[in-house]
Chains A and B, each alone.
Chain A
Amino acid sequence: MSVTGARARTQSRVTVGGLRLGRTAVVMACLLAAVSVSGCRDAREIESVGFVLGLGIDETADGRVEVWAQVALPSAKPAEEEKQHSWTETSIGDTVWDALRQLNNRSTKVLFRAHVRALVFGERFARGGVARALDVLARDGQFRYKSWVFVTSDPVGDVLGVETKQSSSAALYLDDLMRNTARSSTAPRSRFLDLLTAIEQPGDQPLLARVSLAGPADGGGQPEGEESTAEAGRAGRDQGAGGPEGAESAPDTEPKELRVEGSAALCGDRMAGWLDAEETAMALMACNRLPAYSFVMPMPGDEGGTIGFEMIRSHADTLFPKGIHTGHAAGLVTEVVIRITGTVDIREVLSSEQLMSMQSLDRLQAGISRHLEAGIRRLVDAAQNRLGCDVISIGECVRRRVPAKVWEEDVAPTWHDQFRAIAIVPEVHFEVGKRGMTMQSPRPVD
């Protein structure tokens, strides 16, 4: 065995030994770090965290901002029926952040805003401009852009304070409503993200779902009258045009329920007015954002008879007969055709007319189209004259067709004025699809 070979082996052993020592040192350092840098120093126990489920924001009579936070109170035992599931705290400040800051200071729990399900604006605040609340929420790393946004004409504290048997808090109830039932209701699925993106586009103004307090007697009931029977949420119309006092006539002692129906139309960040259930559905249909819609209308050719439908498909095209593909033409949008096609399924026939002939079916289809076309006309009238803002996204269609520079510099600044003067012509054509498992209504022998 040579001396060189022995030296090489010794060196090799030393190197391996050094490596092992190094690795052991690294492993020990990692273990020590895992123990000492684990965050236990300023850890927050879950009991000390207040999970905010609902946020409410309104303006007081003296122009200050009032904020409500509905905070979940998780219970250790699932069967604690007596225990309160949530509590609502309120605070007033000069700005939204000021009020939130004070709310934080007064709360015994650290308010955690990552689980906010519902953001409710009071009407007064919405009319003054919701941008005052958007900045603080958009900067917040915790707040979710997927939170639902509502506007109410009722006191925000009362809305968040409603107790329902279906959910443990009003905010969760609203969340469930929007997730599961709003698909077929007549309120826009308005998320915080939609509000953020829409207020910056004058041609695509936001519609926010309206939440209101309703007594149990009002729930689902419809006023009488031929046309009034037509829409599922026509009851909201009475409140809609009425403004903030609409729901306050109900006696305070009566237990309240929450109803999500209709919408608040915003012009920029300021609320311009209410749209009732039918107008909201028509606006959503014109913007291709109506997932489902059900309605009842008089049976054509049978006075006193009614027929109920469920809309299963609709598609709207906004057409510019004169073309607006150049910047020059963009300033001259004078006429727009909203062409809507779709299919409805028959869900209920209460009439002697059983639609067993092609002529009767054609008559029905024409009647449906006329009925919906009239709804679109009412919406256009409301948007152009009552609200004065483009809630049917015609401006967005223009923006997509013209060069960006032309839109930004020439069209967008004056779009609200231009929109009011445009002749908007609805063309609606609907077909009847399925008629269910029976061809005719079951009837006793005469």
Chain B
Amino acid sequence: MGDRPGHGSRDEIYYTQIVVITAMIVFATGFLAAARVLVPVAGTAAWISVLIGGAFGLGIAVLAGYLAARFPDHSLVRMAERVFGAPLGKLIGLTFAAYCTVVLGLGSRESVLAMWIAFLQTTPPVLISAVFYVLIIYAAYLGIEAIARVSLIFFSLVVASLLVLTALASPVAVPGRLLPIVGNGLGPVMRAGFLAASYAGESIVVLAFIRHLKDKRGASRAMATGVATGMAIMAVATGFGVMMLGVRGISRVTFPVLETARMVGFGQFLERAEILFLALWFSAALLKLATVFYASITSIADVLGLRDYRPLIIPYALLGAALSLIPKTVLETFDYLNAFVRYSVWYTIALPVVLLAGAVIRGLREGGNDVRDRGAG
């Protein structure tokens, strides 16, 4: 059983676009506050824990890639239905949609808070959230191909902005603050690495639309490259945060990356340049959230057996916006975020492992042809 031909089924995305989308999913919202979550655990070695988390994430991405290569024309829900049958498959699809919804809600809340607290203090957060969701709706309406193309453009700008920021931050950074190199010790660093893996684990969102990848053989490599890129960006952001603010400073501030950006400038002629960086970063966050939104509604459409996901856009956007407003305070948002970072990694590991193990045990592969059939043929 293949996918039903619905809207967007003719979308095609390429290897580089999957790399970029995966990288954006991994870092675009998480890197705003990742250092504040990881530094209290790992200390000065928080950047190493991000790399360790990246190694975990590589494993998850490779497993997800193998799964995608095994079912090249299937979305995640269809894979689950193929492996475990329709009822259980739909249930797995719903858990995936729920995971995406949480990523969307927390990601949008975090981004809205960062804009609200730092820049738009007198603007109601509901209004900022509404603008976010209008843009997300438009992106989701255009489909994954459009999101992938725009992501490719913005990703290069975001990377360039981060390189500029790194260069400008170098005079203010004190490399000695990264010592001792093992931070709070090997145990805490590994524990923080596991927390960081939850950011890398968000790459499983790509499973919802990996079937649009033109050359399926590169799925595993593309996802792994994306995870490595995203986590490298996050490690650099964390490392520079520690070098500029110190361990205690990072643990104290609301959004470490924003503070880092506030401290750099182009001499005397361009002050308050952080707004330039933030415009780009929020564009990246927007594209990530649009991608997650798209993954979520296409999964729900698959679960409900809808030919077209578009009728779900508005109701789901309302649901997402409402969920993102549940945490009333910054503290509550960060509490939710900490819980998500602590526990979601298990889901991101379990999902590809369970599906891949089921497919291997049942010898399932490709659209309807299992291994035994081929062997018999």
Contact = CB atoms under 8 A, between A and B. Distances in A.
Contacts of A403: 180, 182, 184-185
Summarize A's interface: helix, strand, loop or mixed: helix
A370 interface: no
B272 interface: yes
B26 to A, nearest CB: 27
23 contacts: A114-B272, A115-B271, A141-B117, A141-B118, A141-B119, A141-B121, A145-B262, A145-B263, A146-B265, A193-B244, A193-B245, A196-B249, A197-B248, A200-B246, A201-B246, A201-B248, A396-B176, A399-B179, A402-B180, A403-B182, A403-B184, A404-B43, A404-B44
A405 interface: yes
A402 B249 CA distance: 20
A402 B184 CA distance: 10
Contacts of B272: 114
Contacts of B117: 141
A115 B245 CA distance: 21
B149 to A, nearest CB: 19
Nearest to A193: B263
A23 to B, nearest CB: 12
Q: Which of A42, A145, A404 has the most CB of B within 10 A?
A: A404
Interface string B179-200: 1101111000000000000000
A174 to B, nearest CB: 14
Contacts of A196: 245, 249
Interface in A87-133: 114-115
A435 interface: no
A371 interface: no
Contacts of A347: none
A200 B249 contact: yes
Contact of A200 (B180, B182, B248, B268): B248
Interface string A396-417: 1001111111000000000000
A20 interface: no
B259 interface: yes
Interface of B: 43-44, 117-119, 121-122, 172, 176, 179-180, 182-185, 244-249, 259, 262-263, 265, 268, 271-272
A179 B268 contact: yes
A404 to B, nearest CB: 4
Contacts of A115: 271
Contacts of B172: 193
A404 B246 contact: no
B185 A400 contact: no
Given A141-B117, A402-B180, A404-B247, 4 more contacts: A141-B118, A201-B246, A201-B248, A404-B180
A271 to B, nearest CB: 21
B176 A400 contact: yes
Nearest to B172: A193
A169 B43 CA distance: 43
A144 B122 contact: no
Contacts of A399: 179-180
Interface in A41-62: 42
Contacts of B268: 179
Contact of A197 (B121, B180, B245, B271): B245
B265 A145 contact: no
A141 B254 CA distance: 11
Nearest to B245: A197
B185 A404 contact: yes
Contacts of A396: 176
A197 B176 contact: no
A145 B185 CA distance: 31
A134 B118 CA distance: 18
Contact of B184 (A145, A146, A400, A404): A404
Contact of B246 (A197, A400, A402): A197
Nearest to B183: A404
Contact of A144 (B119, B121, B179, B262): B262
Interface in A349-405: 396, 399-405
A108 B244 CA distance: 37
Interface in A125-154: 141, 144-146
Nearest to B177: A197
